[in-house]
């Protein structure tokens, strides 16, 4: 007897259709799974056998062969437990096979027949909808996440018994519904606010410019000057996520199993990996590639604190993603592309001890130690960071000031207006000024004569590279957008050049 159950496998951040074919043949009792199953799929045989028996059903005393088609696609994870169990019950006549064609299903089985959560519910729901299926049976813990996909019934189950009785027609299941407006409404109040930051007005301005144009930035200052605190609040002034952007970010978190009961990622991601992270942890990887921290920060902020402490090989792998805004990981079996449209915000001390140039404490580092420390940040990587800003230690007067600083809401309103000008300028083809090509820069960021002379002088005195020249003009264009100016003038270029002044110190 043969039965086919529809399911799905993950490939990158997409769901690919998989047919779970179960055949019961005459012969000695045997349970085998074929179709390139990975470790967790192979181990599922014992979970399925125990779950079927403990749920009160008979496990067939036949030769059981399960084929996961297409056979040339690697299958990983525990999500195939439920479709394999359902296929066995259907093939053995304990479940009508006619009810299987309209539904896809996934879920991990415990030994007592309960259904546990799995990774990738959102992309698998999208794949099921694309196949024209009526519904998707999945663990209740994943239902809210999958229900974001419209046009398909998301049917939550808590046990193997729930799935069997539903497919028999003995128990109705109410589809899960998600109120997206309510989900976004709960995300409108940020947990952190720039009003909490004392002093540092110049740094706030630099981060406002970075947010308005989507520019990468690096902060250089002594320990305790507030670099981390400022970076954590950057996401609070970025434009709100659109529904498409939220779904895009949610797919990545879903594949990594980081949803934790949430239905949707509604705020800009903020990721701050430790400096001991590996190359694969940062950009993704593995035998079956999974997204890394860069992709988890997609449409948000990737914060690298203590930048020179990261291994050089880790930092250098960032160069291509920062330019192309995507990551392609190639393996023998094929290539997977993950989105990586991020704002990189980095922080570092001016020297190993952290107090070079500090007015209160004396630096204990030799010139050789300072040079060696700063050389850990390569010139090519620095060229890809648009804004360099120096962070000074906070004075006592600023700390003792009882008044609040400018709130994130006010900064965000100015950022939103600047982003709106950019969307209108690029007719929706580009997201922000940081994405402009050289042609776009010539068309939209050409400075006037006085500003061009100022830029020429800065190029000569600071020794800026050709890439840095382009980035100065991009930042100047963003400053002009914040001012509501149609052209790029001297004041805009002067401020933009100021944000490249660390080139000569860090190279």
Q: In what order do the strands lie in the sheet with 387-390?
A: 270-271, 301-304, 343-348, 217-220, 387-390
Question: What is the model's pLDDT at position 80?
Answer: 97
Half-sphere exposure of 342 (CA within 13 A, CB side): 33
* 390 beta partners: 220
DSSP string, 337-354: EEE---EEEEEE-SSSSS
- Alpha-carbon gap, residue 135 to 132, rounded angstroms: 9
Decide the pairing of beta strands 108-109 and 343-348. Answer: unpaired
Which segments within 81-213 are labelled E, that is strand? Answer: 103-105, 108-109, 115-116, 135-139, 153-157
Would you say 224 and 393 are in contact if contact means Cβ atoms under 8 Å apart?
A: yes
Question: What is the model's pLDDT at position 506?
Answer: 44
pTM of the model: 0.91
Helix (H) or strand (E) holding 219: strand 217-220
Domain 189-426, CATH number (from 3.50.50.60, 3.40.250.10, 3.40.50.300, 3.60.9.10)? 3.40.50.300
Count Cβ atoms within 10 A of the Cβ of residue 489 and give its class: 0-12 exposed, 13-18 middle, 19 or more buried. middle
- Alpha-carbon gap, residue 238 to 195, rounded angstroms: 15
pLDDT tens by residue, the chain, 507 residues: 799 999 999 999 999 999 999 999 988 889 999 999 998 999 999 999 999 999 999 999 989 999 999 998 889 999 999 999 999 999 999 999 988 999 999 999 999 999 999 999 999 999 999 999 999 999 999 999 999 999 999 999 999 999 999 999 999 999 999 988 888 887 777 788 998 888 888 999 999 999 999 999 999 999 988 999 999 999 999 999 999 999 999 999 999 999 988 899 999 999 999 999 999 999 998 888 899 999 999 999 999 999 999 999 999 999 999 989 999 998 876 789 999 999 999 999 999 999 888 878 889 999 999 989 988 998 888 888 999 999 988 876 777 777 778 899 999 999 999 999 999 999 878 789 999 998 999 999 999 999 999 999 988 887 777 778 898 999 999 999 999 999 999 999 999 999 986 665 544
Question: What is the model's pLDDT at position 503?
Answer: 66
CB atoms within 10 A of CB 131: 13
Domain residues of the chain, as ranges? 2-168, 189-426, 436-507
Of 71, 77, 90, 76, the closest CA to residue 4 belongs to 90
DSSP secondary structure letter of residue 293: H
DSSP string, 237-279: GSPPPPHHHHHHHHHHHHHTT--TT-S---S--EE---TT--H
> Which CATH number is 2-168 given?
3.30.230.10
- Alpha-carbon gap, residue 279 to 361, rounded angstroms: 36
């Amino acid at each position: 007897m043969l039965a086919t159950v529809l399911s799905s496998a993950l490939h990158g951040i997409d769901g690919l259709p998989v047919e779970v074919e179960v055949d019961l043949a005459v012969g000695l009792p045997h349970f085998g799974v074929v179709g390139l199953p990975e470790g967790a799929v192979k181990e599922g045989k014992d979970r399925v056998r125990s779950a079927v028996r403990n749920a009160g059903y008979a496990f067939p005393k036949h030769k059981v062969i399960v084929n996961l088609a297409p056979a040339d696609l690697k299958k990983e994870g525990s999500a195939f437990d439920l479709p394999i169990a359902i296929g066995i019950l259907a093939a053995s006549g304990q479940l009508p096979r006619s009810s299987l064609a309209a539904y896809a299903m996934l879920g991990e089985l415990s030994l007592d027949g309960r259904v546990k959560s799995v990774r990738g519910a959102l992309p698998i729901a999208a794949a099921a909808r694309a196949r024209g299926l009526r519904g998707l049976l999945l663990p209740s813990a994943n239902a809210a996440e999958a229900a974001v996909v419209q046009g398909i019934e998301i049917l939550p189950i808590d046990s193997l018994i729930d799935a069997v009785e539903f497919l028999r027609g003995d128990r109705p299941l109410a589809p899960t519904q998600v109120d997206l407006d309510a989900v976004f409404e709960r995300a409108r109040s940020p947990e952190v606010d720039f009003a909490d930051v004392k002093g540092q007005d110049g740094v706030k301005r630099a981060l406002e410019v970075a947010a308005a144009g989507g520019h990468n930035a690096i902060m250089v200052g002594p320990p305790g000057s507030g670099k981390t605190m400022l970076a954590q609040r950057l996401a609070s002034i970025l434009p709100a996520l659109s529904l498409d952007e939220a779904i895009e970010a949610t797919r990545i978190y879903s594949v990594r199993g980081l949803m934790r009961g949430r239905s949707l990622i509604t705020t800009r991601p903020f990721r701050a990996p430790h400096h001991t992270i590996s190359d694969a942890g940062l950009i993704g990887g593995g035998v079956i590639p999974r997204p890394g921290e860069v992709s988890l920060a997609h449409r948000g902020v990737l914060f690298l604190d203590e930048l020179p402490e990261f291994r050089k090989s880790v930092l250098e792998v960032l160069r291509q993603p920062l330019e192309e805004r995507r990551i392609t990981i190639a393996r023998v079996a094929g290539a997977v592309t993950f989105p990586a449209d991020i704002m990189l915000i980095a922080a570092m001390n001016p020297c190993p001890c952290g107090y070079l140039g500090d007015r209160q404490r004396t630096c204990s580092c030799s010139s050789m130690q300072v040079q060696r420390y700063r050389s850990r940040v390569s010139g090519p990587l620095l060229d890809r960071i648009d804004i360099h800003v120096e962070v000074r230690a906070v004075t006592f007067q600023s700390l003792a000031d009882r008044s609040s600083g400018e709130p994130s809401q006010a900064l965000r309103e100015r950022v939103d207006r600047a982003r709106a000008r950019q969307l209108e300028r690029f007719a929706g083809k580009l997201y922000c000024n940081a994405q402009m090509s050289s042609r776009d820069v010539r068309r939209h960021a050409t400075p006037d004569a006085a500003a061009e002379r100022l830029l020429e002088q800065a190029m000569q005195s600071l020794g800026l590279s050709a890439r840095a020249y382009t980035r100065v003009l991009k930042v100047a264009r963003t400053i002009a957008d914040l001012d509501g100016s149609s052209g790029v003038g001297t004041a805009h270029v002067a401020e933009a050049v100021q944000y490249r002044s660390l080139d000569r110190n860090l190279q």
